[in-house]
Structure 1
């Protein structure tokens, strides 16, 4: 039994900051091999670590890390394997260690369903990084069960919801150049959803995937998915949840006719459905302003903004406040109010930094441009800090 020599153990790297690295398609292919050498090499590459630094993280000597990567030494001791999994922020099964949570199938399902619900609450509360950290191990565990032939419908349904939650949470915490990873996970859910023939689940999956496609810059594909979601929605509440996102995607595509039709129907349904984090006057106000600008009607956006933000009918998710500040800041700049625009965008930077929303900071950079140097500098500094933390 190979038990590696230990050195003093440093603090474990934060799961909250590194778990997204393991959610990429490339990482999934590597983890599926359960090859410790390949996993260690990948971990070092994405973090830019030397073998010495990885050794410090694991509490091993550099020469031992080198031997593991070259296949000259193998870990067979369960305690050592579990230790490595913990330090690398991986679920133990990736290294062939039985996870006690899988022993009781029903307990695992209950745990998983609670995790998905709590992760969504965390995301809506402005804690998307924590949601990623909770969902990634669950997705990995469920996918391992599926690969091993455990394809019970309850497991597959939970896997679909967990993948959707992971993709959506990643869509909050990743910068624009990595948003394809978020769309990858929501797309993966569609592969599972199709087997259920459940209109509500299908609508949800298409809706969430379509929104991540839009954020990834694939507006045409987003409109296609969201139009499909609206068409198969089984009732008004489900359709109402799709329409704001369809309007936003249509605006991004510059499709004025589709944007106007979707936003008008979304406003009409406000009077007949229960309000949610997406279906409410404040969210539709922001989406309407942004769509008017995107479809070349800045003057209309300015006039609409003069009425101010509508009264909220529900508790608004913190990230929506950031989104609304950026869009309203853009409108103030178009109206020639540089001071007001700067104040709004700097406020958005402060909240986006606190909530760890790099994508929204990148929106501030574009909105500020050369016209608002103070807002641009503030956003640039905050984005640099977040990138540094994500790479740490």
Structure 2
């Protein structure tokens, strides 16, 4: 694999975005098979220096050293220009920019360009699991601007694809805004845009997903009855893919539990588990549901049980799910804490 190909690894890219050079060195050596000595030769550092960086005994802050690392490890252009405060300025890959320039110059956009944008968004969506959305906000915002700029010159399938992509971007921005405490204002404003674009594109799965997120916001802000209505409308709007229907039903189950209807919550949650079991392979699910693995389904079923005060069921599901969530640090930490709390209540 070429050095540039190594940088397709999500954990390596995430470490670079954080400017965590100890993790960068370890992850680069993991994917390349290099020793500390050979990595040091590439970046002009001794083996001892590399070892100290990996152990956290040395911090790299000098721009000259960072420049050597960037050159020696052949960090791709879209990852190379980071602000010193650590916010990643991640631009789309050069080939994507070329396609966009062609589309602007000719007044046309093709489905290949749309698919390329979708691939880039998929990468950032995964990386957000590790680095957080704040660092990725600028590039996703820029990509959304590119998508919407192309729309006036398109029609038919291409326009539908771009509208669906715009909805995916807007939903992601809404989710990050909510995590950053910009709720209900900015988070719901982005979600409104996503809902409109999904409807225009005829993208039923995305429309249902946006409804699911809206229901979550309502439930988080103390309005479970409205949340239940919105989530029910989301999964009833179909026809939907099994994965999209599963997450909408799970959100309805959480709202039903918050309303005190434990029987309905259990029924909805069990149906969601059955639906998700139909698509255990990632490639059979919509791209924004890449994370809906069997372990994630179990974790969500445990969440419904916990909301219904069924502590033992929550413990059972979370106990099964946790070993499979180690690659998602935030979720693993969250469910570990919830499992401990549920276990004390049994």
Normalising by structure 1, we get a TM-score of 0.49
Match of 2:80 in 1: none
Partners of 2:215 and 2:301 lie apart in 1 by 18
Question: In the aligned structure 2, how far is the partner of 1:173 from the partner of 1:190?
Answer: 16
Give the superposition deviation at 1:310: 0.6
The answer to whether the 8 Å contact 1:251/1:259 transfers is: yes
- CA offset at residue 212 of structure 1? 4.5
Equivalent residue, structure 2, for 1:319? 330
Alignment RMSD: 4.0
For residues 114 and 251 of structure 1, do their structure 2 counterparts lie closer, same or farther at Cα, with a shift above 3 Å needed? Answer: same
Alignment partner for residue 155 of structure 2, among 148, 152, 164? 152
CA change 1:259–1:222 in 2 (3 A) is same
Answer yes or no: is 1:191 the counterpart of 2:192: no
- Going from structure 1 to structure 2, the CA distance change for 1:164 and 1:119 (only over 3 Å counts) comes to same
Distance 1:323 1:218, change over 3 A: farther
Matches within 5 A, 1:140-289: 140-144=145-149, 149-150=152-153, 152-153=155-156, 154-155=158-159, 157-168=161-172, 170-172=174-176, 174-175=178-179, 177-180=181-184, 181-215=186-220, 217-231=222-236, 232-274=238-280, 279-289=292-302
Equivalent pairs, count: 238
> Could you say if the C-alpha distance between residues 321 and 120 of structure 1 is closer, same or farther in structure 2, counting changes exceeding 3 Å?
same
Q: CA deviation at 1:183?
A: 3.0
Aligned residue in 2 for 1:134? 139
The gaps in structure 1 that reach 5 residues or longer are 1-15, 18-88, 92-98, 336-392
> In structure 2, do the counterparts of structure 1 residues 150 and 218 end up closer, same or farther at CA, with 3 Å as the change threshold?
farther
Q: Who is 1:305 aligned against?
A: 315
Secondary structure of the residue aligned to 1:178 is coil
Q: Compared with structure 1, are the counterparts of its residues 166 and 127 closer, same or farther at alpha carbon in structure 2 (3 Å cutoff)?
A: farther
Give how far 1:284 is off: 3.6
Q: Secondary structure at the match of 2:278?
A: coil
Further displaced range: 157-166 or 99-108: 99-108
Give the drift of 1:191. Answer: 1.2
Q: CA 1:251 to 1:134, structure 2 compared with 1: closer, same or farther past 3 Å?
A: farther
Q: 1:103 to 1:189 in 2, by over 3 A?
A: same
8 Å contact kept, 2:174–2:189: no
